[in-house]
C-alpha cells in the first residue's frame, strides 16, 4: 500500500496524486502561493532593472501598480509577465524591457490608455458625488489633464455589486446613485494595492 505523500512546504496537506502522478512536491494551495511569490520576485527584479519607480511621477510604493508599457506598438511585443526568468534576468527579458517604460497604473491611464477626451458627464457626477479625490491617497483627478481616467469606483462589499458604473447612462444617475453610495473612490494605484493579496 502506498503512503500518502505530504506537502514539502506546509507538511499538513497531502500532495494531489492526480497531478503529475503525484510528483509535484506541494499541495495545490502551496503550489499556488509559491507560484505567485515566484512571479512577484521576478517582477521585482524587472522593476529594479527599470529604475524602481514610475518614469512619470516617481510612484514606487506598490509593485502591483507598476507596469511595463511598450513604447511602440508591435506584433512582436511580448508581455513581460509572460516571460518568467529566474535571477539574473535572461537576455530575452532584458530585450523586452528595453522596449518599455516603467509606469504606475495612474500614469498608464493618464498618459497612454486614457483617450485624452474629457470624462463623461455621468462619470463627473459620480466623482463629484464621492468628493472627487482618492479616499486613500487624496489624488485629485481635476489637477491632471486626463486624470479622470485613473479614477475607479471600489465596492466596499463586492457581493453588493449590481452594475458597472462606467457603462451606465447619465439619464440613470438617480438609479445608480445607490450603487455609487456603496463605493469609495480610489485612484488606479490605490485600487491595485487594495486588491494585492498578502501571501
Q: Least Å distance between CB 91 and Zn ion? A: 28
When the beta carbons of 9 and 120 are compared against Zn ion, the nearer one is 9
When the beta carbons of 52 and 88 are compared against Zn ion, the nearer one is 52
Q: Least Å distance between CB 170 and Zn ion? A: 25
User: With 0-12 CB in 10 A as exposed, 13-18 as middle and 19+ as buried, what is 103?
Assistant: buried
**What is the Cα–Cα distance from 54 to 165, expressed in whole angstroms?**
28
When the beta carbons of 42 and 106 are compared against Zn ion, the nearer one is 106
The alpha carbons of the chain give a radius of gyration, in whole angstroms, of 21
Q: Least Å distance between CB 25 and Zn ion? A: 9
Q: Least Å distance between CB 30 and Zn ion? A: 3
When the beta carbons of 66 and 168 are compared against Zn ion, the nearer one is 66
Binding site for Zn ion (CB under 5 A): 7, 9-10, 13, 27, 30, 54, 56-57, 59, 104, 107, 134, 136-137, 139, 187, 190
Q: Least Å distance between CB 24 and Zn ion? A: 11
| DSSP tag of 140 | B
**What is the Cα–Cα distance from 120 to 165, expressed in whole angstroms?**
12
C-alpha pair distances (Å), 53 with each of 15, 46, 110, 150, 179 = 40, 11, 16, 18, 35
C-alpha pair distances (Å), 123 with each of 110, 113, 167 = 16, 17, 10
**What is the Cα–Cα distance from 124 to 70, expressed in whole angstroms?**
30
When the beta carbons of 28 and 163 are compared against Zn ion, the nearer one is 28
Q: Least Å distance between CB 95 and Zn ion? A: 24
Helical pair 173-180 and 121-129, crossing angle rounded to 10 deg? 40
When the beta carbons of 27 and 122 are compared against Zn ion, the nearer one is 27
Amino acid at each position: 500500500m502506498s503512503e500518502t505523500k505530504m506537502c514539502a512546504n506546509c507538511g499538513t496537506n497531502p500532495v494531489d496524486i492526480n497531478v503529475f502522478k503525484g510528483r509535484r512536491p506541494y499541495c495545490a494551495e502551496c503550489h499556488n502561493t509559491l507560484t505567485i511569490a515566484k512571479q512577484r520576485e521576478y517582477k521585482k527584479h524587472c522593476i529594479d532593472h527599470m529604475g524602481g519607480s514610475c518614469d512619470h511621477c516617481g510612484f514606487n510604493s506598490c509593485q502591483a501598480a507598476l507596469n511595463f508599457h511598450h513604447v511602440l506598438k508591435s506584433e512582436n511585443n511580448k508581455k513581460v509577465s509572460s516571460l518568467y526568468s529566474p535571477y539574473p534576468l535572461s537576455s530575452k527579458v532584458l530585450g523586452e524591457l528595453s522596449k518599455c517604460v516603467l509606469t504606475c497604473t495612474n500614469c498608464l491611464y493618464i498618459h497612454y490608455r486614457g483617450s485624452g477626451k474629457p470624462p463623461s458627464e455621468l462619470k463627473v457626477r459620480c466623482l463629484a458625488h464621492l468628493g472627487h479625490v482618492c479616499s486613500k491617497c487624496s489624488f485629485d483627478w481635476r489637477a491632471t489633464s486626463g486624470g479622470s481616467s485613473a479614477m475607479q469606483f471600489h465596492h466596499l462589499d463586492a457581493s453588493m455589486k449590481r452594475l458597472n458604473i462606467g457603462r451606465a447612462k447619465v439619464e440613470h444617475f438617480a438609479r445608480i446613485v445607490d450603487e455609487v453610495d456603496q463605493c469609495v473612490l480610489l485612484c488606479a494605484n490605490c485600487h491595485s494595492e487594495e486588491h494585492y493579496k498578502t501571501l
